[in-house]
Amino acid sequence: MKNKIELDEFKQQVAAIYDRRSQTYDNGDFHPKLANTLIKYSKIRPGQKILDIATGTGLVAIEAAKIVGKTGKIIGVDISTGLLEVASKKIAANNLTNLELILADAETLNFSENSFDRILCCSALPFFPNLRKDLILWRSFLVDDGLIGLQVYAQTAAVAGFILQKVAKRYGIEIILSDLTGTKDKCHFLLEEAGFKNIEVNEDQLGNYITLDEAKKVWYGSLNHPLSSQLKQLAKPNLEQAKAEYFAELAALVTNKGIWNDMTVYYICASK
């Protein structure tokens, strides 16, 4: 694993957030379920060579490594040293020798063309500012008829973020979350634009009810999150007014079960 990486300010903030989350990232069954479902749709076979982008704690990479076996190879890349350290310990615990971790920016990878049978990315696309260009780059790494498998969120997913995005827009602030993958049609267009074919988009619903207090907490976290920290640029009166509007919109969604937290997930698979 490389020891140093050059990142711009945005990516430094992303890496820092996930460094802090690294020890608790695997808690619960949400992220493992996403990883396992992506693997199911990606049709991985023994002997394949796979690139796992934003590999994190290795949830996708480790399971894929078990499938491809000793004749296969997995390379997992991420910008968070904290996540990769957790992944490394899990790899050792599973006695896997076919999985390599690289500290790297997936937007500047320089693998040879036709290097991988599969390229996977789970739950990370909003953190790629140049996603359209990235998909073209990643496509070049695939063998002919190789497959890309992506797990993304619908535009309505995560109610607190959806409302935050809507309120911020009233104040001239564009928070980009899952805009490019917001609907099945958008998913198709995004992959077609990058030159992929045989595009399939499968949908799952992992939503649940949350309390108003849980939803409100997102506001405070958003002020220091790289995807929404531009809110802090607002003058104090406007920031307070935006917060009040955000809280009011959430309160209007409360039912006797709480607030429905839509979590529509898409699994995109497409071939080169």
pLDDT score for 240: 97
Cβ 87 vs Cβ 55: under 8 Å: yes
pLDDT score for 1: 56
Flag whether 101 is in a domain.
Answer: yes
For residue 99, the domain's CATH number is 3.40.50.150
Flag whether 79 is in a domain.
Answer: yes
Own/partner contacts of 91-99, CB < 8 Å, gap of 24 or more, are: 91/58, 91/62, 91/65, 94/62, 94/65, 94/66, 96/62, 96/65, 96/66, 97/70, 98/65, 98/68, 98/69, 98/70, 98/72, 98/73, 98/74, 99/58, 99/61, 99/62, 99/65, 99/73, 99/74, 99/75
pLDDT score for 239: 97
Residue 78 is part of which domain span?
A: 9-153
pLDDT score for 142: 98
Cβ 33 vs Cβ 60: under 8 Å: no
Flag whether 230 is in a domain.
Answer: no
Cα-flanking dihedrals φ and ψ of residue 180, to 5°? -75, -15
- List the one residue out of 249, 150, 260 whose CA is nearest residue 205: 260
Flag whether 194 is in a domain.
Answer: no
What predicted TM-score, i.e. pTM, was given to this entire model?
Answer: 0.94
Flag whether 93 is in a domain.
Answer: yes
State the total domains in the chain: 1
Q: Taking each helix axis from N to C terminus, what angle separates 30-41 and 59-68, rounded to the nearest 10 degrees?
A: 40
Measured in residues, the chain has a length of 272
* C-beta atoms surrounding 183 within 10 Å: 15
pLDDT score for 4: 77
pLDDT score for 193: 97
Flag whether 71 is in a domain.
Answer: yes
Flag whether 37 is in a domain.
Answer: yes
Q: Across the 272 residues of the chain, what is the mean pLDDT of every consecutive 10-residue run?
A: 80 95 94 97 97 98 97 98 97 97 96 97 95 97 97 96 96 93 97 98 97 96 93 96 98 98 98 98
Flag whether 97 is in a domain.
Answer: yes
